[in-house]
Amino acid sequence: MTSKRYYELIVTEISDNVSDLVMKWWAGLGVGVVCGAHVLPLQRWRFFNVADPMLLNHPHVDIMTTIPGTAHTHLRDARVIPDPVAGYNERRLQWVAMATWMYETSFTLTSSHADATLALDEVDGVASILVNDVVVATTANSFVSYSVNVSSFVRQGNNTVQVRFEPLLNYTRDQAARYPYMLPATINPNTWAEPTQRVFLRKAGSDFGWDWGPAFLTSGLRGNVSVHWTDDHTTAIDCCIRDYTVDQHFPNATDFAVHVTVCLHLTGSNCLGVTAELSVDQHVVATSPLRRRHH
């Protein structure tokens, strides 16, 4: 049984440091809560470049690696490329940024499942995520984590996960060509990649080159990847924070109230009658029974 609930935790405090309390809540809620689920880290991956007739003069790479990492760090660790920051290697290694890179791994589910989620902490670049050869998500934002419900795509037994990274310049220049007018951006004529059209991609701007740094335009899985699932027969509850809002109210100069609304996704056969607690500095400040979310 898979169900969704939400609950409200309303706490009124008097404090001389409003921002400190709010930031503690913000940081605490920003971390998803998982309990009762199986968690399988996916650490070891096959890493290779997809055949490209435009890059025939450059090596075909097919190596095993671990994450977190990026194309340049994987290739450097495998001694496929020299130190990228030495000499003129920024220019010599342009082909790494122009290639399409693929991560591939597999995992095994030993029993039937009620719910399965693929969690990716940081996907740095423009990527397609595939489970058992089916695209389950596409990404173009390096600053957020991704959580994909893959229950409909996994099976008992062996399963494969692939993450395909496209060349960044292909994406940004295509997005710029589609846009009705030009957007201004810093141009660094000392780098090989200009015009990068970097404003069209949520990624660290310095990866495209800067007046003080090289243009590597690297991509990769810069965070951990894991599979979370629950068995059909489990009596435990898998709990994950899907969304939340924080509203602040200041009735006078000294008092304040913070209203926290949290949307949870619960999985398991025992989702009814659950009570949630909110703790700040290891002290329980509020409890509330879960209330079903009305769509």
The winner for highest mean pLDDT among 33-37, 129-133, 256-260 is 129-133
Sign of the torsion formed by the C-alpha atoms of 52, 56, 57 and 58:
positive
The answer to whether residues 220 and 246 belong to one domain is no
The answer to whether residues 127 and 260 belong to one domain is no
Of the pLDDT bands very low, low, confident and very high (cuts 50, 70, 90), residue 125 is very high
149-196 per-position pLDDT tens digit: 998 999 989 999 999 999 999 999 999 999 999 888 777 777 888 888
- Report the DSSP beta bridge partners of residue 44: 66
* Owning domain of residue 100: 39-229
CA distance 253 to 214: 50
Name which residue leads in pLDDT, 219 or 10. 219
The answer to whether residues 108 and 152 belong to one domain is yes
Asked which of 188, 214, 229 is the last residue of a domain, the reply is: 229
Asked which of 203, 229, 255 is the last residue of a domain, the reply is: 229
The answer to whether residues 146 and 286 belong to one domain is no
Name residue 16's amino acid. Answer: D
The answer to whether residues 96 and 11 belong to one domain is no
Averaged pLDDT for residues 208-233:
88
The answer to whether residues 129 and 184 belong to one domain is yes
Of the pLDDT bands very low, low, confident and very high (cuts 50, 70, 90), residue 19 is very low
Query: 7 pLDDT exceeds 90?
Result: no
The answer to whether residues 122 and 135 belong to one domain is yes
Number of domains present in the structure of the chain:
2
The answer to whether residues 97 and 207 belong to one domain is yes
> Contact 246/26 with Cβ under 8 angstroms?
yes
Name which residue leads in pLDDT, 289 or 138. 138
Q: What is the pLDDT of residue 145?
A: 92
The answer to whether residues 217 and 146 belong to one domain is yes
Averaged pLDDT for residues 264-287:
72
The encoded tokens of residue 293 equal: 């979310």
Averaged pLDDT for residues 8-22:
39
To the question of pTM greater than 0.85 for the whole model, the response is no
Query: 17 pLDDT exceeds 60?
Result: no
The answer to whether residues 171 and 283 belong to one domain is no
Of the pLDDT bands very low, low, confident and very high (cuts 50, 70, 90), residue 32 is very low
The answer to whether residues 54 and 150 belong to one domain is yes
SS (H, E, C) 43-105: CEEEEEECCCHHHCCCCCCEEEEECCCCHHHHHHHCCCCCCCCCCCHHHHCHHHHHCCEEEEE
CATH of the domain at 73: 2.60.120.260
Q: What percent of the chain has a predicted confidence (pLDDT) above 90?
A: 47
The answer to whether residues 82 and 213 belong to one domain is yes
